[in-house]
Amino acid sequence: MPPEIFFKDAALLALISDASIDFTPANFDAPLTDAQRAYLRRICGMDIPQVFWRKQVHGNDILEAAGGQASAKGCPDADAYVTAEKNLPIAIRTADCVPVFFFNPIRRVIGLAHAGWKGTYKAIAAKTVQKMQEKYASQPADLKIVLGPGIRECCYQVGEEFREYFPSHVRGRGGHLYADVVSANRDQLLKAGVRQENILDSRICTCCNNDYFSFRRDGEKAGRMISLMMLR
């Protein structure tokens, strides 16, 4: 799979990087490094010196990105962003958590959510749908969604407590329990009014696939991919 994830819209940029470069930020208010900018320039054909992102805290707070510039200095920590502003790149970092891309081609608004198990338990994807509806009159049925690379049920071994967190998305295998966080997000999106045919699953397990960073596989030495969206 190439690193780009496009919604077949010439006025939208949407991509996720691979493990060829680490997007772990040294400072959330600082510009991207030369190597990071060069990677994005090669992938998307334009220079992106800075992105709108904050420290991810595995919550369900959603920021409205605005201001005409990428710097989010002074904004609180958050795990999702929405915007209708052009040329404002929003971004998250992942290394097993699920990146969820949101695009409403009618209202011309986008969203991006970092859905680890904690964020999924707190329904961050569904709340992003709600936020887009409140802020931009974005109807859930009009949304196009991509569930990006993340750890899948094949590799996500969990403890007994996950039966309570995700009762419909934990299965036993070989004496262990495995959680399907991707399906949990999909079901939450469907319940929020997103159409099933409008949800695209990348079907990539970051733990299985060495082309992507994985905290479960590599521990503290794992880098971070960037998921990025921008209206043009």
Q: Tell me the CATH number at 202.
A: 3.60.140.10
Q: For residues 165 and 116, give the distance between their C-alpha atoms in angstroms, rounded to a whole number.
A: 13
End-to-end CA distance of the chain: give it in Å, rounded. Answer: 24
Pairing of strands 90-94, 225-231: antiparallel
Which residues of the chain fall short of a pLDDT of 50?
1
Beta strands in 27-159, from DSSP E residues, in sequence order: 62-64, 80-83, 90-94, 98-104, 109-115, 144-147, 157-158
pLDDT of residue 27: 85
- Answer left, alpha or beta for residue 23, where phi above 0 means left and psi between -120 and 50 means alpha: alpha
Q: Are 132 and 195 in contact (CB under 8 A)?
A: no
Number of helices (H) and strands (E) in the chain: give both, helices first.
6, 12
Q: Are 146 and 125 in contact (CB under 8 A)?
A: no
Q: Is residue 84 a part of any domain in this protein?
A: yes
Q: Are 90 and 65 in contact (CB under 8 A)?
A: yes
Q: Is residue 94 a part of any domain in this protein?
A: yes
Instruction: Show the domain range for 119.
Output: 12-231
Q: How many domains does the chain have?
A: 1
Count of CA atoms in the C-beta half-sphere (13 A) of 48: 25
Q: Is residue 7 a part of any domain in this protein?
A: no
pLDDT of residue 2: 52
Q: For residues 63 and 222, give the distance between their C-alpha atoms in angstroms, rounded to a whole number.
A: 27
Q: Is residue 178 a part of any domain in this protein?
A: yes
Q: Is residue 126 a part of any domain in this protein?
A: yes
Q: Is residue 144 a part of any domain in this protein?
A: yes
Q: Is residue 100 a part of any domain in this protein?
A: yes
pLDDT of residue 69: 67
Q: For residues 17 and 4, give the distance between their C-alpha atoms in angstroms, rounded to a whole number.
A: 7
Q: What are phi and psi of 52, to 5 degrees?
A: -90, 110
Residue length, the chain?
A: 232
Q: Is residue 6 a part of any domain in this protein?
A: no
pLDDT of residue 1: 47
